[in-house]
A and B are shown apart, each in its own frame.
Chain A
């Protein structure tokens, strides 16, 4: 469960996030939908405490994420915007490193690694060094790294960007599986179809502000439009984007 209230963050004169509030519940997938630069990444970074917001409140399972970022992070699994790997370590070594850093024991680490290798279909490249991995494989390792400690809340920043069809599909399936296991999943995206396919709730962000939120059905009803892409276009105020 993640609660964000009145979040505000400026970089110099630029207001990146302005009074953003939403709630992401357990067993639901919440999407942050918006164009590039809408403030999605800044919002997510504020939740996992690498950005100190100028105002607002963040709670992760009730823990104050701003006053106690360390404790709040314990309940979080994060696929951040930056998802680089160590070129000289293998995929499995990455998982072990992060599992040990999360405080997992030896045998627990090995079982979790095996589970994730299977879940994400990493068998072919689990013991290859990261330097030779494809973009999709790279993303899978980064996802595994975020999920090792079986966190209750999962933040995914643009998880499918740059992935091919098969990898995108695998990520979507993963998101659905996580929801089925009762996790609280928050992911950001600028791809309408993707959001429509997996989200229970959509928070539409534009220029740092939440301009609409609700279930896909609620959004359709409030705008009187059937197609979610039209809804998005209508909400963000762009016209003629879809020929």
Chain B
């Protein structure tokens, strides 16, 4: 037993030193991480800009004199400012002089007075998605105005407005502020899982397929140390890098959120340190099984390059369910807790939703993840016994 632990510690130390000296690989992991807060800021800034633009809207109006009442009403609405529109609205919009224009035709007043449907036009380029919010706000306002007028006309004629509105849709928003927040940063598990995968990959490949390719595996296996302790040392080294990478990712996301213009988005995200820490803590055990899986796959590969492509491909497997469920809430299920990645995703969602994480759930996930890692390590040590694997035939 002491022999086992001693050999494991020696291998762990060597692989850590070796991994740290592999500058090129370290930089390839660290550089994208350093850019994370910047990406974050840009994404949030754009989102908040379009929200803000929708909130403070200037409406260039052509033919204002034809609908003084409507324009007057619009002008009173919060965040709306009426402007004199350009003489040639179509050209002006096309040239980008104005974002969009509201055009009121000459016959508006006449049709309006005659209780006929009076038309207004919103001229918009249609390509600039960031205007969608503004335009739909204006559209909603004018519709609302129209509905008010319609109700008045019906009441004057002795008809209840309800007759003209057979169905009414009410949207009840049930999500709490924190759940909405959770959804907004629903990509956080994805980033953390990526951090875990990317961090340990280099050591996992270098210490298996790489070790064989450079011809150092045979001398290593001649050492009378238990195979499992050698593999265990390699695995723990890869896991250490994986964990470090995940923690760095979390820190970078934290920095990104801290400096992002979230308040402007109307989201009061209290970056509760406790919740964040819980979310990170919940996902970290995943590193142990991810590196074990990377090692068994890299060991099976015939060459270093082959190992690299297999292990990179491996990253897509857990990404798929994460991306598919990123926007929506997933239902709690025991089977999900038992599947690595999916289990952690559910726990993170619980943590970020402010509901807390049940200790039992955490235990189930951690145990199944540990079992998965154990199977992978056992498989790897088994593979290291195969002549075909050791000598790369």
A residues near B (Cβ < 8 Å) are 11, 48, 50-52, 70-71, 73-74, 76, 78, 80-89, 93, 97-98, 100-103, 142, 145-146
Interface: B274 (CB within 8 A): no
Q: Given A86-B18, A100-B10, A103-B3, do A50 and B219 touch, yes or no (CB 8 Å)?
A: no
Q: A74, B214: Cβ atoms under 8 Å?
A: no
In the complex, which residues of chain A have a beta carbon less than 8 angstroms from the beta carbon of B148? none
Q: Which residues of A contact B17 (CB under 8 A)?
A: 89, 93
B3 near A80: Cβ-Cβ < 8 Å: no
- Residues of chain A within 8 A of B221, CB atoms compared: 50
Given contacts A80-B222, A83-B215, 9 further A-B contacts (CB under 8 A): A50-B221, A78-B219, A82-B217, A82-B218, A84-B219, A98-B223, A101-B11, A103-B6, A145-B219
Indicate if B14 sits at the interface (CB-CB under 8 A). Answer: yes
B 211-228 binary contact with A (CB < 8 Å = 1; else 0): 000111111111111100
**Which A-chain residue is minimally distant from B2 (CB atoms)?**
A103
29 of the cross-chain contacts (CB-CB < 8 Å) are: A11-B393, A48-B222, A50-B390, A50-B391, A70-B224, A71-B224, A78-B219, A80-B218, A81-B218, A82-B216, A82-B219, A84-B215, A84-B216, A86-B14, A86-B18, A87-B214, A88-B18, A88-B21, A89-B14, A93-B17, A97-B10, A98-B219, A100-B6, A101-B7, A101-B11, A101-B223, A102-B224, A103-B3, A146-B219
A102 to B224, CA, bound (A): 7
Min CB–CB distance A54 → chain B (angstroms): 12
Known A-B contacts A50-B390, A87-B214; A102 and B223 likewise in contact (beta carbons under 8 Å)? yes
Residue of chain A at shortest CB distance from B23: A88
Q: Is B87 an interface residue (CB 8 A)?
A: no
- Tally A-B pairs: CB < 8 A: 70
CA distance A93 to B13 in the complex (A): 12
Hey, which chain B residues are within 8 Å of A11, CB to CB?
393
Interface presence of B22 (CB below 8 A): yes
CA distance A88 to B16 in the complex (A): 12
CA distance A100 to B215 in the complex (A): 20
Closest 6 CB pairs of A and B: A84-B215, A82-B215, A84-B214, A88-B21, A73-B224, A82-B218
Q: How far is the CB of B329 from chain A (nearest CB, A)?
A: 46
**Chain A residues, CB < 8 A from B10:** 97, 100-101
Decide if B331 is an interface residue (CB 8 Å cutoff). Answer: no
B4-59 contacts to A, CB under 8 A, are 6-7, 10-11, 14, 17-18, 21-22
